Amino acid sequence: MGLFKSYGRPCRVYRKNINRFYTMSKLFINELDLKGKRVFVRVDYNVPFDEQGNITDDARIRATLPTINYLLDEGAKIILASHLGRPGGKPLPELSMKPVAKRLNRLLNKDVTLASDCIGPEVKKKVEAMQPEDVLLLENLRYHKGERENDPEFAKELASLCDVMVQDAFGNCHRAHASMVGMNEKVSQSAAGFLLKREIDYFEKAVNVPSRPVVAIVGGAKVLDKIKIIENLVKKVDKLIIGGAMAFPFLAVHGYGIGKATVDENVVIKVLNINKLAKERGVKIYLPVDFVAADKFDGDAETKLVTFQEVPDNWFALDIGPASTKLFSEAMQNAKTIIWNGPMGAFEIDAFSRGTYSMVESVVTAYALTIVGGGDTDLAFHRMGESYKVSFISTGGGAFLELLEGKELPGIAALTDSPSHELASERS
C-alpha cells in the first residue's frame, strides 16, 4: 500500500509502492464526501513577482488546478488558503493575495472572491454565504503570527471555516505551521490533494522503488545542508554526480586545492564516511575534472579554465568546465532514473551558468525518468525552455530536500489515516 489509498476518479497515478517515510497510508481527496461541503484547501501560492507586482511564474498555481477542478465537479464550496512571502505577521499590501486571485479568475474561467483576511467575522460571513462551486481565496496566512507559530487558537479559527481539509501545499509540508499541522487536529478529516499525491508518487518512483541504474546529481552551495542528502542518497543510488560548491569537500579530502573555498571539519568527516559507504556499496562518485575559475565573485571577473588540480589559491572555482560536463553526461547515458537538485556553479551569474545549462541538455536527452527538485535547478530548465521535457519538476524545494534526507514531513504526517488501510491492518 502506498502513502495514499486511491480509487475512483480521476486519479491515474500508480499506487502499488510502499512508502518508507510514513507507517500508515493517508486519506486521499477522493475518499471524502464533498458535495455541498466547505472544503479548506491549503495551497502553496508563494509565487514570484516583478517590480510592478505582476506574477512572473504561475507554475505553483497551475499545479493546484486538478484538485480545484475536482472539487468543483463534486459540488464543494472551495476555500483556498496560502502564505505569500514573509510579512512578519503584518498586513503588507505588497504581499497581498490580490494578484493570485486575479490569475485564478483567468485560469479557472470563473469568479474567485478574495477575502479581506483569513480569519475573523467578515471572513466567516463570506463563508456562510458560499454556494456549491463557489471559490473563496483567503488573504495571506502570514499576515498573522499565529500561522508560523502554529498557534492553537489561530488553527482553531481556520478550522472553524470548513467541514473538511485538503492538503495540497507540498512546498510547505516541511513546516509545522498552523495551516499545515495545527488545523489537522481540529477538523474531522484532512486528506491529500492531487498535487501532493503526485509529488509523493514521483518521489517514490525515483528514490524508494526506482528503475535502475539510478543517477543522482547534487549541486548548489548549501554544503552543510546538502551533505545530509548525499549521506542518504549514497545508500539508494548507483551513481552520484557532485557539482557546485558541494564538490569542494570531496576534492579537499583527496588533498586537492579548492581555491578560496573553505571546508567545515564536520563536513570532511561526513565526506570520508560517504566515500567509505560508496566503496562498500559499489556506488560510483563523479566529481568535476575542470572548472571555470575567477579572480572574484562577479560577472566582470577575470576568468580562466583550469583542471581540478590547478585552481589558484586566491581564485574562486565558480562553474564546471566542458570536460566535467562531458564526463557527467557519459555517466548518465545508461540511467533509468535521474534525480537532480542544485546547479553546477554560480548559476545566478550568466558567466558561470554554462555548466548547469549543459547538464540540462544532457538530462532532457537521457532515456530515463527525470525528476528535478525545484529551486535554481527548476529555473535553469525554464530559462532554456526545456521544462516540458522533464518527467517531473517538484513544486517544493525545501520539502523535496527533506524527503531526500529521509525525513518525515509534518504536513503529510498530520493527515488523517485512510480507514481502508486501518481495516486492512486489523485483518492482518
Tell me which residues are annotated as active site. 60, 222, 375, 398
Question: How far is residue 60's CA from residue 63's CA, in Å, rounded to a whole number?
Answer: 5
Question: How far is residue 394's CA from residue 169's CA, in Å, rounded to a whole number?
Answer: 11
Q: Check if the beta carbon of residue 39 is closer than 8 Å to that of residue 80.
A: no
Specify the residue for cell string 556499496: 281
3-state helix, strand, coil in the chain (%, to 5): 40, 15, 45
Question: How far is residue 171's CA from residue 403's CA, in Å, rounded to a whole number?
Answer: 11
Using a CB cutoff of 8 Å and minimum separation of 24, what contacts does 361-365 make? 361/386, 362/325, 362/328, 362/329, 362/332, 363/217, 363/332, 363/338, 363/390, 364/389, 364/390
Can you state the angle between helices 322-331 and 354-364, rounded to 10 degrees?
20
- β-pairing, 38-42 with 316-320? unpaired
Specify the residue for cell string 510592478: 52
φ, ψ at 287 (rounded to 5°): -120, 155
Question: How far is residue 187's CA from residue 243's CA, in Å, rounded to a whole number?
Answer: 45
Question: How far is residue 26's CA from residue 222's CA, in Å, rounded to a whole number?
Answer: 32
Specify the residue for cell string 477542478: 69
Question: How far is residue 171's CA from residue 374's CA, in Å, rounded to a whole number?
Answer: 9
Question: How far is residue 31's CA from residue 98's CA, in Å, rounded to a whole number?
Answer: 32
In the structure, how many helices (H) and strands (E) does the chain have?
A: 16, 15
Question: How far is residue 38's CA from residue 77's CA, in Å, rounded to a whole number?
Answer: 5
Cell numbers for 174: 516541511
